[in-house]
Amino acid sequence: MTGYNLISLKDMIEELGEDKTREILSSFSCPLNPDVEIFLKNTAILFDKQHLSATHLVFASYKQENQIAGYFTLAQKAFTISNSRKPHTSKISNSLMKKITKYGTYDNHSEFHTIPALLIAQLGRNFGCGDSKNKLISGDELLKIACTKVWDIQRVFSGKHVYIECENKPKLIDFYTSNGFVQFGTRLLDADEKDISGEYLVQMLKDLKAAYSTKASPKPPKKQS
């Protein structure tokens, strides 16, 4: 095993057709987060067709066959942040606030800055492959690949931040914090987000320009044989 292969869902559909693609996606299993599994199997193709999001599949070799190790979904979705420290808004330092807000627009009435950025909307490992102790990819590796993809996109266009929204669970927050994300606020749940516990999602961002060299894209992690 020399590494991971990244394939966009769009390219897979164009090459193999939708029926074969759905067959491949059916092997994905994520019992720790059923929403991640349901999205990939039932929604990802539709959202890709409607240009609402773009899903990317990470493949690895297992028993001499290419298997889905994990996937992530990216979406262009602006977030809001406020200097006033209102409830469900910013929890970051003034210096970081200044760095972030220069990329957005300010509304005097609401006192919110609106920042366009790429959202990692879905991130999930496949528990349907590998043995019970060793999965084909770690969460850290999958998140790094997702951030690398975002940085490649930003180097062509603009921006330097990527953000996520997760449930207010210490394990999730610690995972993203350990990977360089900083909490900047929270977002109240939408009416259709009924399967999420709590009243809000924690919002966390990462400065990719600070994390990666501007001279070259970071290399995705390699899986050891």
Rg, C-alpha atoms of the chain: 18
CB atoms closer than 10 angstroms to residue 203: 24
Average predicted confidence (pLDDT) for the chain: 85
What gap in Å lies between CA 199 and CA 222, rounded to an integer? 38
Secondary structure of residue 28 in the 3-state scheme? coil
**Model confidence at 149: pLDDT above 90:** yes
Q: What does pTM read for this prediction? A: 0.85
* Cα(173)–Cα(51) distance, integer angstroms: 29
| Residue 173 near residue 212 (C-beta atoms within 8 A) | no
Indicate whether 182 pLDDT > 50.
yes
Domain ranges of the chain: 5-77+117-211
How much is the pLDDT for 1?
34
What residues contact residue 28 under an 8 Å CB cut-off, 6+ apart? Answer: 37, 40, 41, 68, 71, 124, 126, 128
pLDDT given at position 63: 78
> According to CATH, what is the number of the domain 5-77+117-211?
3.40.630.30
pLDDT in the model for residue 2 = 47
The pLDDT-based confidence of 64 (bands split at 50, 70, 90) is confident
Q: What is the pLDDT of residue 132?
A: 52
